[in-house]
Structure 1
Amino acid sequence: MYLTQGLHRAVQQHPDGVMLVHGERSSTFAQVADRVARLAGGLRDLGVQDGDRVAILGLNSDRYGEYLLAVPWANAVLNPVNIRWSAAEIAYSLRDSQSTVLLVDDAFAPLLPALRAAYPGLRTVIHYGDGPTPASTVSYAELIAASAPVPDARRGGDQLAGLYYTGGTTGFPKGVMLSHANLISSAFGALATGYLPEFGARWLHAAPMFHLADLAGWNAQVILGGAHVIIPMFDPLAVLRAIDAHRITDVLLVPLMVQQLVDHPACADYDLSSLRHIIYGASPISEALLERAMKVFPSAGFTQCYGMTELAPVATLLGPQDHTARLLRSAGRVAPHVEVRIVDEQGAEVAPGTVGEIVASGPNVMLGYWNRPDDTAAALRDGWMHTGDGGYLDDDGYLFVVDRIKDMIVSGGENVYSAEVENAIATHPSVAACAVLGVPDQDWGERVHAVVICQPGAELSIEELREHTKTLIAGYKAPRSLEVVTELPVSGAGKIVKRELREKYWGDHARQVN
């Protein structure tokens, strides 16, 4: 198995079919294969050797798609950079991965002086934007035009495919090493459920392409030989226009994006009937939002994916038929390519309904963390990836994720899982979005604290919120303090970054628990 395999198949079976659409540009499978072979040749001419890391920093584009195929074609390793990082964080990932070649677009070219100063090992920068080529960079277009195509190295199997840096919830981010077999097995397992694209699908890339969630959709679509429609970044109006104009069938979003789409005042002005699959992740979807979204996208089935970068990334899926009131907070059932268990602190499997750590095993489990043997050994134990997520399996095999284990709040001696409190808070009609965390408290050790964005025009008091949540969960789990904000910090994957919220309360403390 190798990442370029689907492209070869598509060129053989329908070379004139459209593969990439970005703005006014459109490329067939045959055209993409030729450009990829030339870009791979150009990379080799620039000194890229077998196994070298080649990084990219840019918004979504068709050129990004060419990069995803050309790097393994050249027998090298992908390193997609998080576009939401600071220059210092980006330089860290380049230095840590020892990436000597970087592709950059117009949006991020201004960062080059800072990146070069912070990481002198950056030997070559290839500019693939539409604007003027910056000084001391190589023109992407000229490189492809001047380079002879090279044969596909067909790098695959257990060979390293890419380094995908985690968000870094604590300390510096870790480079997750994923093989071709990891990525392809995850894509095949997800496709086998029938919840993802089918032959003839048209996938919209609106989520960031540097993130493994969107890359999972990319890999599945390449396997099927389908078309990719790409917009630079998520924008509600741009998504609505793309679905209408290109008859999009599949898209990956996070619930916040779904909310912004269904709330957009121009939503009713577009034909959205082509949409068949809405895949979402990062967090469950609320019942109220699901009901609204199903009215806006009546032809679409909703599928939640649970996983992580270390699992390449799919572990479980909640299919359209399971989007019922009873199962809506579930992360679904285990995908065909992976095995999931719940274990206690000693690693022993626990009974259904018992909260423990979620662990996974299968061909999708990462090779390890780049240059971090101790972290790898801690995460991969006895063939199982220890996710750090707390959850339980019910009697029917549905997974319920209750929290990151380290985010568990101990209040008055009782364990409180913040996800459970967040689920209760989210049902309040005044709440648009929320996050729950433990903050220092003189009496309780830690108290349950809610950070809430209210619906437009709505107000909320702590007394009202406590009374509401106590109708759904135990009283000791109800929030004891409330902060109303206008926005929450969000990661590239669409997850709320609780680390930033905690800093306000834990900044002067030596540890993050009381």
Structure 2
Amino acid sequence: MQFTQGLHRAVQQKPDEIATICGERQHRFSDLRDRVARIAGLLSQLGVRRGDVIAIQALNSDRYIEFFLASSWLGAVANPVNFRWSAAEVIYSLKDSAAVALFVDDQFASQGAAIKAQTPSLRELLFIGDGECPTGMRDVEAALPGVAPIDDAEVGGDELFGVFYTGGTTGAPKGVMLSHLNICSSALSLMAEGSFPEGVIGLHAAPMFHLGDMMLIAGVLLRGGRHVAMPMFRPELALQAIARHRITDLLLVPTMLQALVDCPAIRDADVGSVRRVMYGAAPVSEALLDRAMLALPGVEFTQVYGMTEMSAVMTVLPPSMHLPENRGSGRVRSAGRAAYHMQVRVVDADDRELSRGEVGEITFRGPNLMKGYLNKQDASAAALRNGWMHSGDMGYMDDGGYLFIVDRLKDMIICGGENVYSAEVENAIGSHPAVLSCAVFGVPHAEWGELVHAAVILKPGAELALDSLQAHCRALIAGYKLPRGLEIHETFPTSGAGKILKTELRKPHWQGRERAVN
């Protein structure tokens, strides 16, 4: 299995159909293959060889898809850079991966020279923007007509496809090494679940540097569907793209879904083409799900629980479990069941599998399991014990094989010797009528070790006091789990995947202290 396989298949079957759309620009599948073969040829002329790492720092566009395909076509290794990172973090990932070339767009071209000056391995800066090419960079678009296309190197299987860096919120980012088989097996598993059917038109609104959107890229590519890219997610612009391009499939994190359904423009928007919404990073509340199903009638919702180390797909909660008539089981609050290519176990500290209903660490294995962390043998060995990926997530499995996530191991609060799972408290707080979003974490306490603390974003015009919140939660959770502190926020810090960064929220409370469970 190779990443370019979907492109070859589409060119064979429908060469004149539209493959990519970005703004006013569009390319047919035959055009896309020619461009990819020429970009790979340009890289080859510049001395990039099979196994070399090439990076990209850019907003979403059709050029991003071309980058991934050209890298694979040449047999190089892709490093998509988080565009939210500081220059120091970008330089770290380029040095760590020994990247030899960096693609940049208009947004990031101004940083290119400084980054190259501090990255010894970096030989080439390649400009893929729409404006004027900066001095010292190579203009890819201007160069392509004079470059001969090269043949696909047909690299695939267990060979390295890319290095995807984790967020680095608790230290230096780790480069997750993923093979062609890793990526393709996860995409095929989603297709077996019913995602990316014939005629799919996917909107790339989530960041394309993130592995979540990679599943949309890979799945739509394997099916031979159409890719529509928007630079960054903006709900009103996403609604315009849906109407204009008849989008069928959306991949969103819950914060994006919430912004979309709460956007005033959705009342008059034409969203009738949308058939499927895939979401991940976190479950959605039933209240948000109800609003989303009302705003997007007839749409199938699928939750995917994944992590970079497992090529983004581990368990799937299918559309049927989101329907009102099936919510009585409570499984809409689960992460679903093992995807078709996965094995899942919940284990204790000695890696012994636990009985159904018992809380432990969730572990995984399958053909999507990473090759390891680049240049980090100790971290790789710690995560990949006994052939299983140890996720760091705590959870339990019910009798039907549905997996329930109760907390991150590092986010579990230990209060007076009792384990408090933040997700349980968040579910209780999230049901308060004044609360729009919340995050729960532990803060230090001399006697109890830690106390439960809540950070909350309120609905417009709402007010909330701690005693009122405690009274609401007391009917839902045990007394020792009640929040003992409350802080109100306008927004929360989030990662590239849209996850709330509890490390940042927790930081002011732990200044000068060391947290044992971190």
In the superposition, the TM-score normalised over structure 1's length comes to: 0.98
State the secondary structure of the residue aligned to 2:314: strand
Structure 1, unaligned runs of 5 or more:
none
Q: 2:459 aligns with which of 447, 455, 458?
A: 455
Q: CA deviation at 1:299?
A: 2.0
Match of 2:130 in 1: 130
User: Aligned to 1:379, which of 376, 383, 386?
Assistant: 383
- Residue 201 of structure 1: aligned partner: 200
465, 470, 474: which one pairs with 1:470?
Answer: 474
Which residue number in structure 2 is paired with residue 226 of structure 1? 225
Q: Distance in 2 between matches of 1:93 and 1:163?
A: 9
1:439-470 Cα distance to aligned partner (Å, 9 max, x none): 10123210000000000000111111111112
Which residue is 2:67 aligned to?
Answer: 67
Query: Are 1:438 and 2:442 counterparts?
Result: yes
User: Which deviations, in whole Å up to 9, do the C-alpha atoms of 1:334-354 show, x marking residues without a partner?
Assistant: 100010000000000000111
Q: In structure 2, what is the Cα distance between the partners aligned to 1:159 and 1:121?
A: 22
Residues 218-258 of structure 1 show CA distances to partners (whole Å, capped at 9, x for unaligned) of 10111100000110010001110111111110010011111
Q: Which residue of 2 aligns with 1:491?
A: 495
Deviates more, 1:172-181 or 1:135-144: 135-144
Alignment partner, residue 214 of structure 1? 213
Partner of 1:147: 147
Contact 1:3 1:69 in 2 (8 A): yes
- Give 1:35 deviation, angstroms: 0.3
Q: Which residue of 2 aligns with 1:246?
A: 245
Amino acid in structure 1 at the alignment position of 2:269? Y
Match of 2:418 among 400, 403, 414: 414
Deviations 1:104-142 (A, max 9, x none): 000011222331243233211001001110110000102
Q: Counterpart amino acid of 2:242?
A: I
**Deviations 1:254-287 (Å, cap 9, x if unpaired)?**
1111111111111112111111110001111011
Aligned residues of 1:88 and 1:118 also touching (Cα < 8 A):
no
Q: What is the distance in 2 between the residues matched to 1:463 and 1:182?
A: 49
CA contact (8 A) 1:274 1:299 kept: no
Q: Which residue of 1 aligns with 2:404?
A: 400
Whether the 8 Å contact between 1:408 and 1:418 is mirrored in structure 2 is yes
Aligned length: 513
Q: Counterparts of 2:467 and 2:493 in 1: how far apart (Å)?
A: 25
User: For the residues of structure 2 that align with 1:403 and 1:224, how far apart are their CA atoms?
Assistant: 35
Match of 1:366 in 2: 370
Q: Write the deviation string for residues 15-49 of structure 1: whole angstroms up to 9, x where unpaired.
A: 00110000000100000000000000000011101
Q: CA RMSD in A?
A: 1.1
Counterpart-to-counterpart distance in 1, 2:515 and 2:113 = 37
Residue 512 of structure 1 and its aligned partner are, at CA, apart by 4.9
Letter in 2 for 1:26: Q
Q: Which residue of 1 aligns with 2:121?
A: 121
Consecutive aligned runs of 4 or more in structure 1 exceeding 6 Å deviation: none
What amino acid is the match of 2:66?
Answer: E
Which secondary structure state, in structure 2, belongs to the residue aligned with residue 16 of structure 1? Answer: coil
Query: Does the aligned pair in 1 maintain the 2:207–2:496 contact within 8 Å?
Result: yes
SS at match of 1:313: coil
Tell me if 1:170 matches 2:145.
Answer: no
* Equivalent residues of 2:205, 2:251 under 8 A apart: yes
Residue aligning to 1:355: 359
| 1:207 shift after superposition | 0.3
Asked if 1:308 is matched to 2:307, the reply is yes
Look up the equivalent residue of 1:472 and give its one-letter code: L
CA distance in 2, matches of 1:452, 1:94: 37
Question: In percent, how many aligned pairs have the same letter?
Answer: 56
Tell me, in whole angstroms, the C-alpha distance in 2 between the residues paired with 1:451 and 1:155: 48
- TM-score, length of structure 2 as denominator length: 0.98
Q: Give the corresponding residue for 1:83.
A: 83
In 1, distance between residues paired with 2:318 and 2:184?
21
Question: 1:259 and 2:242 equivalent?
Answer: no
Residue by residue over 1:289-320, the C-alpha shift from the partner in whole angstroms, topping out at 9 and shown as x without a partner, is 11111011002111111010000010001111
